Amino acid sequence: MELIVWFCMGILFTLGVQAFAYVSTRVRLPWYAWAMAFIGGILILFGIGWASASFFEGVAQSGSMGLIFFSLPGFVLIVLSWRLFAPKGASLWIQS
């Protein structure tokens, strides 16, 4: 079961890299916005990994705290990097 979880983490990392590549083709952001978003993504994955390992060890409180203290700031960093540095009216969707 643990191997499936780590395999899914690898899939999430790969999808995250693909998402960053897609966004980089659609929107021009400064390097520090990309750094914030990248650190946020790594924090989210670290929090998910921490939580899954803690749940496998039977320590659910540690897993919940890991999600709160690692994944939540990662999500906030990603949202802030988009809200502060993306051009007004920027869209990631293909407009016809």
Structure tokens given for 46 = 């670290």
Amino acid code (one letter) for 1: M
pTM of the model: 0.84
**Cβ-Cβ contacts under 8 Å for 68 (sequence gap 6 or more):** none
As for how many domains the chain has, the answer is 1
Q: Is 38 a domain residue? A: yes
Q: Is 90 a domain residue? A: no
Using alpha carbons only, what angle is made at residue 30 by residues 28 and 31, rounded to the nearest 5 degrees? Answer: 120
The predicted-structure confidence for 28-62, as pLDDT tens digits, reads as follows 889 999 999 999 999 999 999 999 999 999 999 99
Residue-number span of the structural domain to which 55 is assigned: 2-85
Q: Is 41 a domain residue? A: yes
The predicted-structure confidence for 59-72, as pLDDT tens digits, reads as follows 999 999 999 999 99
Chain centroid offset of residue 74 CA: 6
